[in-house]
Amino acid sequence: MTMPARPPRLRRATALAVAGAAALATLVGVPSASADALEDGQWWRAAMGVDELHRTGAGQGVTVAVIDGPIDASVPELTGRVAASSTECLTQGGERQSSTAKGAGADHATSMASLIVGSGKGTAAGGRGIAGIAPRATLRHYAVLYADTTDGGGDGCRLDDTGLDQSGAATARAIRLAVKDGARVLSVSLSVDYDGALVEALLDAYRAGAIVVASTNNDTRNVFWPGIGNGVVTVTHVDAAGNLDSSALRKSPLLDFAAPGTKVATGASDSSGWRSDALADGASQATAITAGGLAAVWSAHPDATGNQVLQAAKDAIGLRAENGKYLTWFRRVGSNLPASTGKTESYGFGIFAPADAVRLDVASLPDTNPMVVDTGVVSPTAAQIAAAVGSSPTPSPTSSTPASPSPGETPTGAAGPAAAEGDSSDRGGSAPVRVLVGLLALALVAAALVLVLRRRAGRADGAPPSTSQAHDTTAATDGLAVTTKEHGHGGH
C-alpha cells in the first residue's frame, strides 16, 4: 500500500436529507407523517421512551464533550447550555479560528449539541425546538472541522503553517483536552484519517474512565478513526421502523449499536436563520443520541463506572418478542427477554435502549469495556488498555460464544431490512473488520506509524448484504468462529 501524498479530506458523518416528515414508529405500524415536521422529526423520543428515562436520569452531574465543527450556541435550544467552546485550528494567516459561528458552517455541531442537551425551545411553531436526550448534562464543545481551510479546499483543521489537513491530530488533542476538562462521555460525529496521537488520546480517555462514542461514515458505509479505535462505541443509524438507513453501514462486526438517525429533527440554517424543524439523516444523529443516552443512564447511577454503563447498554438492547421470535426494536417489549446473545451482523449488539438499560443494577455489572477486543491487530491493544486502566485484559464477548437465552426460549433471526441501493465506494479498498483484523500502515522515513484497525469489515465492495431470509450466521474471522444472530426489525 502506498501512502497518499496528502491525507484524504475529513468527512462529516452526516448526510443531510431534504426537510420532510418522518414516520412515527409504533408497535402496530408506521402511521402517516403529520403536518408538523418538528413533531415527526422527534419520533425517536417516544420510540426510545425518553420521558420515562428522564424520570431517573437526564444527564445531571455528567459532562458530555461534543467534538465537531464550530457551534452556534445562541440558537434557542442551546442558549445557556454550552459550558465552554474551544479550538486549536488555525486560519490560513496563522490566527486561531473561532470555535463559534452562525449559519450553515455551524449547523452540524449545533445539531449534535441540541440532540444531547437541547432545551426544547426553538423556532418552530409555538416557540418549540429540539429537546435533547440528556438536557441536564453539562456540555463542552471542541471544534476540529472547518470548511476550506486546508490545501485542496476540503474540510479539516490546520494546526501549523504547512497547510495540510491535520484533523486526526486535532481530534486527538480535543479528546485529551475534553478528558482533562472532566468529560465523561465524548460524542464524535466525524471521521478522520489515522494519526498516532489518536491512540494515546483514547488511552487517556480510558484511563480517566470516560466513554468515547463515534459514528460510522455515511459516504462510504465504513468506519474510520476514531470509530475504529479499540474500545470506542461505534454507532450506525436506523429509521422509525428499525430499518437500517440506505446510507448506514451493514453486515459488519465493526458496529456496536444502532440508534435513531433517519429523518430526525436536527435543525439547520437557511436565509432566514436557524430552523428547528429541519430534518436530517445520518450516523451523526445516532451517535449524539447514543452519547446523550449513555450520559442519562450514568446520571441515574452515579456510583457506576463508564464500563458498567456500557455493559448495561449491551445487556438491555432493544428487543421485542413476536410469534416466537426476538425482533430488534427501540425498547424491550415482552417478558423473559434474553440479555445480549452476541453481535448481530448489521446492528452490533442491537438498537440502543437507554430507558431499559437504566432499570438495571448498573453498578453490579462487570467493570470491563465490552467494546474492547483482545485478538487480532487492534489499536490500542487490549494490553495497552489494561495497562492504562490498571487491570488485566479480559476476553471480549465478541470473540467468544454468546450466552444462551433464557430456558425455553429460542431466538430466531427475523427477516432483516431490505438491501438498499447506495454508494458502494470505499476509501482504501478493503473495509476494516471490528472483531479482529486491520491494516498495517507503512514505515515512514523518520518513524514507523502503524495504522491499526480494531476490526475489518466483511465486504470489500461496501455493498449492503442481502437480508431476505431468517438466519443464524456463524462468522469465522482469524480462525475464530463467532456466532451472531441477525434480528429483524418487524417489517412494518
Residues annotated as catalytic are: 68, 108, 284
Rounded to an integer, what distance in angstroms lies between the CA atom of residue 323 and that of residue 301?
A: 35
Give the angle subtended at the CA of 301 by the CAs of 295 and 307, to the nearest 5°: 65
Task: Kindly report the backbone phi and psi dihedral angles of residue 114, in degrees, each rounded to the nearest multiple of 5, phi listed first.
Answer: -65, -40
Which residue do the cell numbers 460464544 mark? 401
**434 and 252 in contact (C-beta within 8 Å)?**
yes
Rounded to an integer, what distance in angstroms lies between the CA atom of residue 142 and that of residue 167?
A: 12
| DSSP-assigned beta bridge partners for residue 82 | 139
